[in-house]
């Protein structure tokens, strides 16, 4: 299993301990320090009895995860971020299901999401659908939380690793590329805890960059999976249109009207009946500030 670490000295021990407490024992931890400025590397070295440790210049979570994947040679690859944790039966539950169904490429689960003192449980995604070819459901709503995922290595060998050019949405991009070729499964049980922090990557990346990366992540899936069945292709095009719409709405809100119009037209090329995009394209010619994500 792989743990990418960036300035995680205060949290990574908790993550590693949650792995060491697993009832499933046939694993090894591969941790990559992604150019941390704190004592992350020192903390990792203190746990090197079950942990293969490496460091690199800061390249982002995709680069760190990819390096850890290449360091490993196991049949299955599990992901845990340095500030999150697993519940004790996570690996046992998921790996048993993967071993029982060779057609499954990836498995995920529900999780608890903690924001300070607040807690919520992630939804289970597609209603009444928990295993199978779930590309359409996933494109519509990313129900996969990275620390809940275990992937079959052969699956990664087929579709490739994380896209290191994406600052965010690199995980969603990979899950969709997997779902385009393989069955995936969602265990409707809480098997991990995801801690949301104010200093997390998603909160430090500027809004426009985050929105542009979200569009690019899905367009890259379109390029990589050009032979999708018609229903899945339509689902992906709808998802791309919606991502472009949110980016265009943001551009309109900040006053970049010419760029916003171009993006709204792009939405309509993907979805000619996207009425909200058509309406905002018209509104872009008025001297009125439009809320970025208004429906």
Q: What is the CATH number of the domain that holds 107?
A: 3.90.550.10
Instruction: State residue 197's pLDDT score.
Output: 74
133-137 contacts at long range (C-beta below 8 A, 24 or more positions apart): 133/179, 133/183, 134/179, 134/183, 134/184, 134/186, 135/176, 135/179, 135/180, 135/228, 135/232, 135/235, 135/236, 136/231, 136/232, 136/235
Strand, coil or helix: 192: strand
- 294 in a structural domain: no
Give CA separation, 207 vs 130, 141, 221, 282, in Å.
Answer: 32, 20, 22, 24
pLDDT score of 18 more than 70 = yes
Residues 185 and 235 in one domain: no
Residues 165 and 219 in one domain: no
What's the pTM? Answer: 0.92
Residues 142 and 12 in one domain: yes
* Farthest-apart Cα atoms in the chain, separation: 64
Which pLDDT band, with edges at 50, 70 and 90, does 268 fall under? very high
Q: To 5 degrees, how large is the angle CA 161–CA 167–CA 171? A: 40
Distance CA 10, CA 29 (A): 18
Instruction: State residue 289's pLDDT score.
Output: 63
Residues 199 and 224 in one domain: no
User: Which of 148, 177, 203 finishes a domain?
Assistant: 203
Residues 235 and 104 in one domain: no
Looking at the structure of the chain, the number of domains it has is 2
Instruction: State residue 288's pLDDT score.
Output: 65
Strand, coil or helix: 292: coil
Which pLDDT band, with edges at 50, 70 and 90, does 35 fall under? very high
Owning domain of residue 238: 204-283
Q: Burial, 23: exposed, middle or buried (Cβ in 10 Å; 0-12, 13-18, 19+)? A: exposed
What does the radius of gyration of the chain's CA atoms come to, in whole angstroms? Answer: 20
Distance CA 219, CA 197 (A): 29
User: Which of 155, 182, 203 finishes a domain?
Assistant: 203
Strand, coil or helix: 241: helix
- pLDDT digit string (tens) for 108-154? 999 999 988 888 988 765 554 588 999 999 999 999 999 999 999 99
User: Which of 168, 203, 238 finishes a domain?
Assistant: 203
- pLDDT digit string (tens) for 87-114? 999 999 999 999 999 999 999 999 999 9
Residues 199 and 210 in one domain: no
Residues 211 and 142 in one domain: no
* Residues in Cβ contact with 256 at an 8 Å cutoff, skipping those fewer than 6 apart: none
Task: Mean pLDDT check: name the lowest of 36-50, 262-276, 279-293.
Answer: 279-293
Residue 12: half-sphere exposure toward Cβ, Cα within 13 Å:
29
Which pLDDT band, with edges at 50, 70 and 90, does 85 fall under? very high
pLDDT score of 295 more than 60 = no
- pLDDT digit string (tens) for 220-233? 999 999 889 999 99
Contact at 8 Å (CB) between 54 and 12? no
- 25 in a structural domain: yes
Give every strand in the sheet of 29-34, ordered side by side. 2-5, 29-34, 51-56
Instruction: State residue 130's pLDDT score.
Output: 82
């Amino acid at each position: 299993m792989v743990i990418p670490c960036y300035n995680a000295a205060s949290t990574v021990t908790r993550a590693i301990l949650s792995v060491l407490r697993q009832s499933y024992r046939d694993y090894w931890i591969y941790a990559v320090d992604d150019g941390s400025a704190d004592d992350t590397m020192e903390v990792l070295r203190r746990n090197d009895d079950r942990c293969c440790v490496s460091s690199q210049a800061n390249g982002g979570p995709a680069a760190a995860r990819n390096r850890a994947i290449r360091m490993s040679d196991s049949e299955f690859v599990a992901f845990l971020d340095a500030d999150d944790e697993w519940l004790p039966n996570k690996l046992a539950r998921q790996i048993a299901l993967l071993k029982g169904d060779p057609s499954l490429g990836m498995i995920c689960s529900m999780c608890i999401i903690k924001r300070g003192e607040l807690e919520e449980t992630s939804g289970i995604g597609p209603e009444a659908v928990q295993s199978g070819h779930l590309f359409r459901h996933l494109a519509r709503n990313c129900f996969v939380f990275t620390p809940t995922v275990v992937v079959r290595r052969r699956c990664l060998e087929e579709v490739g690793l994380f896209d290191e050019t994406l600052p965010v949405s690199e995980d969603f991009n990979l899950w969709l590329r997997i779902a385009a070729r393989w069955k995936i499964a969602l265990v409707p049980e809480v098997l991990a805890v995801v801690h949301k922090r104010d200093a997390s990557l998603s909160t430090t990346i500027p809004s426009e960059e985050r929105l542009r990366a979200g569009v690019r992540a899905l367009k890259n899936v379109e390029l990589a999976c050009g032979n999708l069945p018609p229903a899945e292709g339509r689902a992906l095009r709808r998802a791309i249109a919606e991502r472009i719409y949110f980016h265009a709405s943001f551009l309109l809100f900040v006053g970049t009207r010419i760029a916003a119009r171009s993006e709204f037209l792009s939405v309509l090329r993907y979805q000619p009946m996207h009425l909200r995009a058509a309406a905002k394209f018209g509104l872009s010619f008025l001297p009125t500030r439009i809320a970025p994500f208004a429906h």
